Amino acid sequence: MHDRYSRQILFSGIGAEGQQKLDNKHALIIGAGALGTGSAEILARAGVGELTIVDRDYVEWSNLQRQQLYTEADAEERMPKVIAAKKRLEEINSGITIHAHIIDVTPVELEQLIRGVDLILDATDNFDIRMIINDISQKHSIPWIYGSCVGSYGISYTILPGVSPCLHCLMENIPIGGMTCDTLGVISPVVQLVIAHQTAEALKILTENTDRLRQELISFDLWNNQQSTIQVRSLKQQQCKSCGDHANYPFLDYENTTKAEILCGRETVQIRPNSRETKDLETLAVKLAKLGKVKQNPYLLQFTIGDDRLVLFRDGRVLVHGTNDAARARSLYHRYLG
């Protein structure tokens, strides 16, 4: 196995000692879309000993333009992203451990997922989840790396609890509106550049070279040939509710999490029930087959009636496709599932 990582070991910043540290580390990747798949592949190839990948969604045709672990067969079968990613990553590196979870991330799930984790990578598509990650990071003193991209614009920022200003310091409040991939789209090269920044920082943290970490927030626009860095140290706030002297981690309160959420670029609304329960998809399939068309795999059930399509996961979440109207999505949810 020494030959496998020989070029990485030759790099003075890592060496044999750093490679051993990578083998003993555990990274949690939240999201298995464009950023998540690219980061997972790099860390798997680098020999990070344990990877946990979490995502709530399945592979669709529009993902293939930029989400590098997936194939046309995955899209055809509507395979859950983490299942397809785990399969491919195990083919890439059979010597590491990969955990895959088909779940929607809430504070409850994150409290369980972060056990034994050395680093959290943000590969999500909304600030609701990012602020939860931020609070979990501060509460348990786990470094995390923020990343985002839309259009040709990308951004990355590394957060060390107790050292860096946290995301709440920078944002103060969750942004409402603004640029999304729904309105601007996204090109693959900007995805790859954000991945490069995130994973470079990840390797520094996992090999315990924190003195080499970038101290600034970096942003760039590849199409317009622009790049900038922002010095953020002065933005750390003593009164911050997430990382300040009297932090109470407000985004870990379940009541502050979104119950109905419009998914970026999908014309889809996710409905998350108030109570957590495991759904009997087999029994539900029999019931719904009397009303419309049902397709099922071991992980999810798809129900189509007229122009409406609902996809139900075992954890009770439902994706209502074909609408950005949360009220209409809730109506369809209750009509057929509630």
Nearby residues of 3 by Cβ (< 8 Å), 6 or more positions away: none
Map out the domains of the chain with their CATH numbers: 3-255 (3.40.50.720), 258-336 (3.30.310.10)
Comparing C-alpha atoms, which of 228, 205, 219 is closest to residue 145? 205
pLDDT > 90 in the chain, percent: 68
Label each residue of 268-313 as H, E or C: EEEECCCCCCCCCHHHHHHHHCCCCEEEEECCEEEEEECCEEEEEE
pLDDT score of 160 more than 60: yes
Q: How many other CB atoms are found less than 10 A from the CB of residue 193?
A: 19
5 versus 290: which is more confidently predicted?
Answer: 5
In Å, how far are 105, 299, 315 from 173, measured between CA atoms? 20, 35, 29
Q: If residue 29 lies in a helix (H) or strand (E), which one and from where to where?
A: strand 26-30
Mean pLDDT of the residues in the chain: 90
171 versus 281: which is more confidently predicted?
Answer: 281
* Stretch 138-158: mean pLDDT: 95
For residue 333, what are its two tokens? Answer: 């949810």
pLDDT at 224: 95
pLDDT at 177: 47
pLDDT at 273: 76
Distance, CA of 63 to CA of 170 (rounded, Å): 30
Q: If residue 263 lies in a helix (H) or strand (E), which one and from where to where?
A: strand 260-263
pLDDT score of 82 more than 60: yes
Considering 149, 166, 181, 264, which one is annotated as catalytic?
181
Q: Which of these ranges, 83-87, 232-236, 264-268, has the smallest mean pLDDT?
A: 264-268
pLDDT in tens, 179-236: 556 556 889 999 999 999 999 999 999 999 999 999 899 999 999 999 999 888 888 9
Contact call for residues 82 and 88 (beta carbons, < 8 A): no
The verdict on whether 181 is a catalytic residue reads yes
Q: Which amino acid makes up residue 141?
A: S
Distance, CA of 188 to CA of 237 (rounded, Å): 35
* Stretch 316-328: mean pLDDT: 88
Contact call for residues 66 and 149 (beta carbons, < 8 A): no
* 3-state DSSP percent of the chain in helix, strand and coil, to 5: 40, 25, 35
Label each residue of 143-193 as H, E or C: CEEEEEEEECEEEEEEECCCCCCCHHHHHCCCCCCCCCHHHHCECHHHHHH
pLDDT score of 178 more than 60: no
Tell me the pLDDT band of 258, cut-offs 50, 70 and 90. Answer: low
